Every structure is written in C-alpha cells, then in structure tokens.
Amino acid sequence: MREREKVQKLLRPKRLIVKQMSITEYRYGSLVLLKSDLLQKAGKTTHAFTTRYGGVSKGIFKSMNLALNRGDSSLNVEENYQILCENLGFKLSDLVFSSQVHEDGVRSVTGGDRKENLFDSPPYSADALITSEKELPLVVFTADCIPILLYGEDGDGNGTVGAVHAGWRGTALNIAGKVVRKMREEFHCLFESMIAAIGPGIGSCCFETGSEVAEKILKLPIQSASDYIGEKNGKTHIDLKGINRALLIASGLKRECIEVSEECTKCYGHKYWSHRGTKGNRGAQIAVISLTAGV
Ligand SMILES: [Zn+2]
C-alpha cells in the first residue's frame, strides 16, 4: 500500500457501530411494547411499557386501553390485559396494582396484595410499588405522567423491582428518590446493581404549567434544577423526565444505568395515551415489571 493510501485509511473514520443502550420498541403483530435495553441485558426481570397499539378496545379507547375505570367495556379491557399477559408470560391474576393519588407513597407488596377481581379497587393507595417476590408483576398507570421501572439486587444477588408513577406532584415530592431509598434500606440493593428505565411521558415540549410548579421543582435536592425549567410563549415548561433522571442520580444511581424514553406522550398522541392531548377522554397505558422466576 502506498504511503498516501495508508494515511488516508488512517484518517478515514472507523465505522464503529456502538449500540446506544436505550428504550427499544418491540412489535408482536399489532401489539407494540417498549422495553429497556439495560433491563433486558440484566436478564432478571420481565417488563414493558405499553402503547395504544395491539388491543381490542373501540371508539375513544382504541385499542390497547388498560385503564380499569374510565368507562371502557370491561370485557375489552380484560381482553387487553390477557393479550399483554400472554405476550409477557404473566398470569393476569398475579398482577398487583395500586390506587394512584399523585402523592409520594411507596408500598412494599407481596403475593397477598394480588386482587381477586381485576376491577376491584386496591384497598390502599400508593404511587410506587416495590417487591422482592418473583412472578409478582407490579403495575403503574400513566397517560402523560412519567413511569419509572427499577431493578436492584443485594450482595447475594437477590433482586428487587419497583414501579413508579411520577406526575409533577410525585416528581416535586421526589418519589423517585424515596423508592431508591426504600430499595436500599429495606431490600439492601447495592447502588452498582441498580437500573432505572424512565418510560414515555409528557415532554418539556408539551408540559406547560404554572410558576408554582417551577418553584417546587427548584427546591428539589438536585444540581441545576433550573436547567429543566424553560419558557415558551411566556409559559413555564418543565422537563419531568429530566428531573426524575437527575433525582435518581442524586439518590446514588449511576448515570449510565438510567435510560430515558425520548417520546412525548402528547406529541405522539396516536401511539400513547395523553391526558392533555385528549382533554381527559382517554384510556391508559401501563408500565409493568416482575422478577423472573428461575434466574
Ligand atoms: Zn410534546
């Protein structure tokens, strides 16, 4: 090879294909789910963030509506759950839910918290669930609010999972940090084992809010909270996903162990349920995670 060719070859950028770990979309026929590459790679959990695609609901609930009490046909909602559970290998009767109240309650759940009837209201409220029991899928509902799924393990490799519903109120109350603390204190999860996946939720593009919300966010224990607050047409816009990511880092998680879905539920209203995009006439998606048996 002539010297000049050698130099040119050296200067040519190498085509290094480095796959960024991220939230990846999976299609199973018409069913579309998102999964975290990091959680998949860890191989200890079964999890998903659902979308509007792949269910049997009709009208304004078309098609994968997983809200239990927003006016959809209960037969169709149950069928939607069956489709999802078959795909993920869950038993519908194993799912554990909570009544979500936009606060910062974190509940450790066990098999005793399974519901007898899918449409029964759980006898407790909490916006985050944690368990170390296997095959106990934890569910949170969202439709603009931010869903977060977590995994961690103790020094003996025993796993714990968490599912969080973080709207602006939960975010301002640092529910993400409270879940991490409980996983650490009650379940002895090691920081270096912890993974968090922040699913699709409303982006700063569409989360227009009042200055009182910004004031609460500025009091959170994160560096540069103001970086997540902006202004568009004289209105305050807040990056809830970014703040939750910062709260997880401030709680001790490694930044490379946190993945964030870039999709905004309002901008992608055809794909996700958005409370703002539908003015409240909507279904809901879920984020679900379970420790897999036998791993
Ligand atoms: Zn948006």
* Ranges of each domain in the chain: 20-201+262-291
Angle, CA of 42, 203 and 152, to the nearest 5°: 20
Q: How would you list the strands of the sheet with 31-36, edge to edge?
A: 23-28, 31-36, 45-50, 285-291, 138-142
More confident residue, 16 or 145: 145
Query: Confidence band (pLDDT; 50, 70, 90) for 2?
Result: low
Residue-wise pLDDT for 28-61, tens only, equals 999 999 999 999 999 999 999 999 999 999 999 9
pLDDT for residue 294: 87
Q: Candidates 3.60.140.10, 3.40.30.10, 3.30.70.920, 3.40.50.620; correct CATH number of 20-201+262-291?
A: 3.60.140.10
pLDDT at 90 over 60: yes
Instruction: Transcribe 192-250 into DSSP letters.
Output: GG-EEEE-SB--TTT-EE-HHHHHHHHTSSSTTGGGGEEEETTEEEE-HHHHHHHHHHH
Instruction: Please give the distance, rounded to the nearest whole angstrom, from the Cα atom of residue 260 to the centre of ligand 1.
Output: 15
Instruction: Please give the distance, rounded to the nearest whole angstrom, from the Cα atom of residue 207 to the centre of ligand 1.
Output: 7
Separation of alpha carbons 287 and 47, rounded Å: 8
Q: What is the 3-state secondary structure (H, E, C) of 63-117?
A: CCCCCCCCCCCHHHHHHHHHHHHHHHCCCHHHCECCECCCCCCEEECCHHHCCCC
pTM above 0.95, yes or no: no
Alpha helices in 124-191 (DSSP H): 168-172, 175-185
Instruction: Please give the distance, rounded to the nearest whole angstrom, from the Cα atom of residue 262 to the centre of ligand 1.
Output: 10
Angle, CA of 43, 45 and 26, to the nearest 5°: 80
User: What percentage of the chain carries pLDDT values higher than 70?
Assistant: 93
Separation of alpha carbons 259 and 43, rounded Å: 16
Residue-wise pLDDT for 205-263, tens only, equals 999 999 999 999 999 999 899 999 999 999 999 999 999 999 999 999 999 999 999 99
- Could you tell me if 90 and 46 are in contact, meaning their C-beta atoms sit under 8 angstroms apart? yes
pLDDT at 4 over 60: no
280: exposed, middle or buried (Cβ count in 10 Å: 0-12, 13-18, 19+) = exposed
Query: Confidence band (pLDDT; 50, 70, 90) for 295?
Result: confident
DSSP state of 20: P
Query: Confidence band (pLDDT; 50, 70, 90) for 173?
Result: very high
Average pLDDT over all residues of the chain: 94
Rg (CA), the chain: 20
Instruction: Please give the distance, rounded to the nearest whole angstrom, from the Cα atom of residue 247 to the centre of ligand 1.
Output: 22
Instruction: Please give the distance, rounded to the nearest whole angstrom, from the Cα atom of residue 208 to the centre of ligand 1.
Output: 10
Instruction: Please give the distance, rounded to the nearest whole angstrom, from the Cα atom of residue 274 to the centre of ligand 1.
Output: 10
Cross-strand partners of 232: 235
